[in-house]
Chain A
């Protein structure tokens, strides 16, 4: 059972539809106790960092998600769900979950922001969710990117005027800056691969 974190603003529906399409069992998670029956977390993308963090605090989900991560079960952060793993976001100066060292910064580019549309990923190392997708296009929509303290955390990068980290992997912890649930067949495969991490 995959738990999809519902922090009020995230686009829960599209992630849920993609999981339904793949025949995967999932439930929306709004309260800490709902994590008890969950084998993996997907933290979906849309929303602002500050609003999402205050909602997580209000509901007690912040501590529950941190405890879940300590248990070693798989976590996939999509866009905002990736960014919240880090220490703080320059978007509304919000402190985040601080699971990983590094910051969330506005993409330092001369190109237009938000970075909206289909862009390609370049794999930097073997990457459980993305192997075989070097050069494939995924759908992005964001202005902020993660800047990990340890560069080896990154497993893929993308360029929009400047290169940025588009996927990370560390043990059971996965994060993608793009939206697999909005990236057609390639995106659905990424979600299916994440689900297999749960069984592994």
Chain B
């Protein structure tokens, strides 16, 4: 049976891991390679690296860092942030990333999604969706959650599925940094609205939050940052909670 995945997220800026609180205040957390290796040993199922300052400052994701991480890691990892072209996708994959996450460029150049899927396979094309709650539904944001698009986030999810995305990385801007739990309604609306896996992101503060995002949110994977970076909970403890709640997880080594 396919396990639900626990994915620590390392937000990186200038080659260091940071965790954005509502995407704005950045607090330094440490060396990406060291953290990545630690999480892999602790039983993380995958890792995500997001170069969170890449798009606004036109900065390219750090290929060198990706190469170093790839040497240390024997679990899959995704890299995102500033991925703007097929050449960017190729560079990241060849440096050792398993998947690339495309956000802003998927909106400005939607044909990038089918082109990347045709060249490298859908399985390595992750589309990142940042969504802000409105009175009705959720609005799609780009540029790391800074720019409103006027598009409906759930409709956008269905559109990029049609375009060939292999997975969605869905972040609730409202919940991100709150440690008050995932936006379960948003996650469920997207997860039930598409036929591709959905990685829920934003709001994990306790192991129970991850239980809920799988059980009520119908997520296929859960991304979490500060819950792990702070040392408050280990991957093993979170997985024990999930197992006790009847959620299928891969046992820790």
A-B contact pairs, 29 of them (CB 8 A): A11-B96, A12-B94, A21-B71, A46-B121, A46-B123, A47-B120, A48-B119, A48-B120, A80-B121, A112-B197, A113-B196, A114-B122, A114-B123, A114-B196, A117-B3, A117-B4, A118-B2, A119-B1, A119-B2, A137-B250, A139-B76, A140-B2, A141-B123, A141-B124, A142-B123, A159-B1, A181-B74, A182-B74, A182-B98
B contact residues around A183 at 8 Å (CB): 74-75
Interface string of B38-77 (1 = CB under 8 A from A): 0010000100000000000000000000010011001110
CB distance from A98 to the nearest CB of B (A): 21
A98-142 interface bits toward B, Cβ cutoff 8 Å, 1 = contact, 0 = none: 000000000000011111111110000000000000000101111
Inside 8 A of B220's CB, which chain A residues have their CB? 112, 116-117
Distance between Cα atoms of A12 and B90 in the complex (Å)? 12
B118 at the binding interface (Cβ < 8 Å): yes
B221 at the interface (CB under 8 A from A): yes
| B205 on interface, CB distance cutoff 8 Å | no
- Give every chain A residue within 8 A of B4 (Cβ-Cβ): 117
Contact A46 B124, beta carbon cutoff 8 Å: yes
Given A46-B121, A139-B76, A185-B253: A112 touches B195 (CB 8 Å cut-off):
yes
Answer yes or no: B183 CB below 8 A from chain A CBs: no
| Residue in chain A with minimal CB distance to B220 | A112
- Residues of B163-203 contacting chain A, CB below 8 A: 166-167, 195-197
Taking the closest CB of chain B, its distance from the CB of A94, in whole angstroms, is 12
- For chain A, the count of residues having a C-beta within 8 Å of the partner chain is 40
Determine whether A17 belongs to the interface, using a CB cutoff of 8 Å to chain B: yes
Nearest chain B CB to A37's CB is how many angstroms away? 23
Which A positions have Cβ atoms within 8 angstroms of B?
A: 9, 11-14, 17-18, 20-21, 46-48, 51, 80, 111-120, 137, 139-143, 159-160, 179, 181-185, 187-188
* B118 interface neighbour in A11, A21, A48, Cβ under 8 Å: A48
Does chain A have a CB within 8 A of B5? yes
Chain B contacts for A120, CB-based, 8 A: 1
In the complex, chain B residues whose CB is within 8 Å of the CB of A140: 2
CA distance A179 to B99 in the complex (A): 13
Expressed in whole angstroms, the Cα–Cα distance for A8 and B123 within the complex equals: 16
Structural contact, B197 and A184, CB atoms closer than 8 A: no
- State A20–B118 Cα separation when bound (angstroms): 30
From B3, B5, B98, B197, give the contact of A46 (CB < 8 A): B98
Contact A114 B98 (CB under 8 A): no
Most B-side CB within 10 Å, residue of A111, A137, A141, A185: A141
Q: Which residue of A lies closest to B40 (CB)?
A: A184
**B:7-57 near A, CB below 8 Å:** 40, 45
Q: Is the interface of A mostly helix, strand, loop or mixed?
A: mixed
Query: Which residue of chain A has the shortest Cβ distance to B117 in the bound complex?
Result: A48
Q: A9-B121, A117-B197, A182-B98 are in contact. Are A187 and B74 (CB under 8 A)?
A: yes
Q: Considering the chains assembled together, what is the distance between the CA atoms of A139 and B98 in angstroms?
A: 12
Tell me if A117 and B5 are in contact (CB < 8 A). Answer: yes
What would 13 more interface pairs be, CB under 8 Å, given A9-B90, A139-B76? A9-B121, A11-B98, A14-B74, A14-B96, A21-B71, A51-B118, A117-B220, A118-B250, A137-B250, A141-B99, A141-B124, A182-B74, A182-B98
A115 touches B2 (CB 8 A): yes
Q: Which of B102-144 contact A (CB under 8 A)?
A: 117-124
Whether a CB of chain A sits under 8 angstroms from the CB of B93 is yes
The distance in angstroms between the C-alpha atoms of A159 and B1, with both chains bound, is 6
Could you tell me if B253 and A112 are in contact, using CB atoms closer than 8 angstroms?
no
Whether B1 contacts A116 by the Cβ 8 Å rule is no
B215, CB-defined interface residue at 8 Å = no
Residues of B within 8 A of A9 (CB): 90, 93, 119-121
Contact bitstring B241-253, A, C-beta under 8 A = 1, else 0: 0000000001101
* Min distance, Cβ A80 to any Cβ of chain B, angstroms: 8
Shortest CB-to-CB span from A23 to chain B, Å, is 14
Cα-based distance from A13 to B195 in the complex (angstroms): 30
**Is B70's CB under 8 angstroms from A13's CB?**
yes
Q: Does B95 contact A (CB under 8 A)?
A: yes
Min CB distance A150 to B, Å, is 27
Are the C-beta atoms of B196 and A112 separated by less than 8 Å? yes
